[in-house]
Amino acid sequence: MMAVAGTAAAVNPRPIRVTLTAQNHHPRATHSPSVHWSYCVRITTASGTSVASTIRIQVVSGRTAWKIAVISLRKGYDHWCQAIGGEASILNTLPIGRKLIFQAVVTAEGVTVKRNWPIVVRRD
């Protein structure tokens, strides 16, 4: 008699492509409502089609992370663009003049991908 171990096949998640871009590497911490720093995250499958995804935007320094936003994109949307700034900006709470990592953590189709953008926050 032959025993058959587990019948479930291993599933390899499809790769996703994630691109993080931003206005520059030196966002300004200011209380002015007219000063903003913009960024974009683009998510596609390896073949270039859109995919439902969750994006966590954060700033990281060592083991400390400042959460900025969590965004859910439905299939059919392949990017998220936003600006940070104004009177209540998270940039005003970050350390000035230190090397930090602006990070997008994207989860789609069972795969999690991190993309980093080095920044140094400056004050006017």
In a domain, residue 5? The reply is no
pTM, two decimals, is 0.85
Please give the average pLDDT of every successive group of 10 residues along the chain, which has 124 residues.
43 81 96 92 93 96 94 94 87 94 96 97 88
Whether residue 83 lies inside any domain: the answer is yes
Kindly state whether residue 7 falls inside one of the protein's structural domains.
no
Residues 10-24 as b/e (b if ≥16 CB within 10 A, e otherwise) read: eeeeeebbbebebee
| Domain contains 6 | no
So what's the pLDDT on residue 3? 42
In a domain, 9, yes or no: no
Structure tokens at 69: 């936003």
Q: Which CATH number is 23's domain given?
A: 2.60.40.3880
Q: Which domain holds residue 26?
A: 16-123
Q: Is 31 inside any structural domain?
A: yes
Answer whether residue 8 is part of any domain: no
Identity at 102, one-letter amino acid code = F
Q: In this structure, is residue 1 part of a structural domain? A: no
Report yes or no: 59 and 66 within 8 Å, Cβ to Cβ.
yes
Output the DSSP codes for 48-105.
S----EEEEEEEEETTEEEEEEEEEE-TT--EEEEEEESTT-GGGGSPTTSEEEEEEE
